[in-house]
Amino acid sequence: MPDALRKTASYEAEPGDVGRVLLLYSGGLDTSVMLKWIQERYEAEVVALTVNLGQPGEDYDVVKGKALQLGALDCHVVDAREEFAREYVAPAIKANAVYGLGYPLFTALGRPLIAKLAVEYARKHGCDTIAHGCTGKGNDQVRIDATIAALGPELRVLAPVREWAMGREEEIAYAREHRIPVTGGAEKPPYSIDDNLWGRSSEGRVIEEIDQPPPDDVFQLVTRPEEAPDESELIRIGFEAGRPISLDGEQLGLVELIDRVSERGCRHGVGIVDHI
């Protein structure tokens, strides 16, 4: 291989390194294509891992069934909501952690935990490589790659989207050719959505056109302020040592407390951040 084309990071997988892969699997188009592509391109076995951090509306039985249908040796669904809330969200609340004075870092907080679990399950299943769906731009690849390199230095990383020459239309064609189920609306590139119990971010398409407001279908979880109730609602959150512990006097675990506060806040149009 010419020097100019060699990978510069020692943790990135070469074809000879790949025998069994732990794939971080969401069940969407990208990771479903990856599951087949890794088997085909590297002639490798694939174990899928899906991490539940509180993403709304997910049917994890369907996600697991799809992974097994596409040839995964196994698919583990890990409910990591409690650990996420306790070890990542709670310290962020104590620190008033925000980026750019407004963005509450929910995607950033989740990535190290996802990568930590990937290392654990890769070792458990004798995998030599961890694959993820990050593209060649943005911070997510850094968060996941760096965490894997720190916690599992013997493991290699595979990021198919950084390697293949497929856009969305090519991915859909590949999916149809390999009989990968394509959900409704895949022909229209959707917004890129990342979510967990701490928040949701949407980006791409017209959302990134700063001269026009975001379209209505961006607001799937929160009511637009113009459509929110005119009557106010007072809530009281109790704290102990910087950690929220109660809502209106009722002691709650952090996951349930966040869910309940989010539901009430979203009903009143609270929580919309336009971050550029």
Catalytic residues: 30, 111, 140, 192
Residue 43 burial by Cβ neighbours in a 10 Å radius (0-12, 13-18, 19+): exposed
Q: How far apart are CA 149 and CA 126, in angstroms?
A: 17
Q: How far apart are CA 60 and CA 66, in angstroms?
A: 10
The H-or-E segment that residue 51 falls in is strand 45-52
Distance of CA 66 to the CA centre of its chain: 18
- Nearest CA among 255, 220, 224, 250 for reference residue 236: 250
- Nearest CA among 61, 85, 64 for reference residue 76: 64
Q: How far apart are CA 78 and CA 63, in angstroms?
A: 12
Q: How far apart are CA 4 and CA 20, in angstroms?
A: 28
The H-or-E segment that residue 126 falls in is none
- Nearest CA among 54, 115, 48 for reference residue 80: 54
The H-or-E segment that residue 193 falls in is strand 192-196
